[in-house]
Amino acid sequence: MNKTVICPGSFDPVTLGHLDIITRAAKMFDRVIVAVLVNSAKTPTFSTEERIELLREAVGGLENVEIVSFKGLLAEYCKKCGVGTIVKGLRAVSDFEYEFQMALANKKLNPELETVFLAADADSTFLSSSMVREIASMGGDISNFVPACVHDRIVERLRK
Ligand code: COA
C-alpha cells in the first residue's frame, strides 16, 4: 500500500525540530506532504512564500517530501487530498493536551483521519519557531536551532 501522510504546521520559520519530524516521517512513509498553514487571522513573520521556500531548501535531499500550503480546516484539506494520516511531533508532556484535543477534533470532523505522534528528538524538546525568532532578532546564535542551508536567510530577515 502506498502510504501518504501530512505534516502540518505554521513553520514560521522551519526549525531543526520540524526537520527531524519530517525526515523521520519520510523514512517511515512513502510520501510526506508538508502543509504550511495560511492563517488569515494571524500575521506571520515570514510570508507563506518565504516559509515554503525555506522548507523546500531544508528538505531538499528528501525525494518523497513535497511542500504545499493550505487554508481552512486541516481535516477538510486531508479529505480533499485523500490523505488519511497526520504526523505531528510531541516535544514534551505540555504539548500532549493540545495535540490530543486537535487529534480528537480532527477525527470528529473527518472520521477517516488518524493522527500519529513522533516523540521529538531530545535536542528539540525546548525548541519553537518563536524562540528562534526572538533569539535571532536580538543577535543571538541560532545555528543549533535551524537547518544550516537556510540559517543565513533566516538571520538576515530577523536581524533588527
Ligand atoms: N520541533 C520544534 N518546534 C515545534 C515542533 C517540533 N517538532 N512542533 C511544533 N513546534 C512549535 C512550532 O515551531 C510552533 O512554535 P511557535 O508557537 O513558537 O511559533 C509551535 O510549536 C506550534 O506549532 P504550529 O505549527 O504553529 O501550530 P500547531 O502545532 O498548533 O498546529 C496546524 C498547526 C496547522 C496543524 C493547526 O493550526 C491546524 O490544523 N490549523 C488549521 C485549522 C484547523 O483545522 N483547526 C482545527 C484544528 S482541530
How high is the pLDDT of residue 142? 97
Encode 132-155: b = buried (16+ Cβ within 10 Å), e = exposed.
bbeebeeeeebeebbbeebbebbb
Cα 27 off chain centre by:
16
Model confidence at 94, pLDDT cuts 50, 70, 90, reads confident
For range 37-62, the mean pLDDT: 94
Residue of 10, 18, 88, 133 with catalytic role = 18
Q: Which of 27, 40, 42, 160 is catalytic?
A: 42
Atom of ligand 1 nearest to the CA of 131: 18
Q: Is the dihedral of CA 55, 60, 61, 66 positive or negative?
A: positive
Distance 32 CA to ligand 1 centre (A): 17
| Ligand 1 atom nearest to CA at 21 | 7
List strands edge to edge, sheet with 4-9.
65-70, 31-37, 4-9, 85-90, 114-119
- Determine the distance separating the centroid of ligand 1 and the alpha carbon of 106, expressed in angstroms: 14
pTM of structure = 0.96
User: Does residue 139 come out as left (phi exceeding 0), alpha (psi in the -120 to 50 range) or beta?
Assistant: left
CB 45 within 8 A of CB 160: no
pLDDT at 160: 66
Q: Give residue 1 CA to ligand 1 midpoint distance, Å.
A: 29
Residue 18 CA, ligand 1 centroid: distance in Å: 10
For the stretch 128-139, pLDDT in tens is 999 999 999 999
Q: Which of 13, 15, 28 is nearest to 121 (CA)?
A: 15
User: What's the pLDDT at 75?
Assistant: 98
The pLDDT of residue 36 is 98
Is 42 among the catalytic positions? yes
Q: Is 18 designated active site?
A: yes
Cβ(106)–Cβ(74) below 8 Å: yes
Mean pLDDT confidence for 34-63: 95
Q: In the annotation, is 69 catalytic?
A: no
Tell me, what DSSP letter sits at residue 44?
-
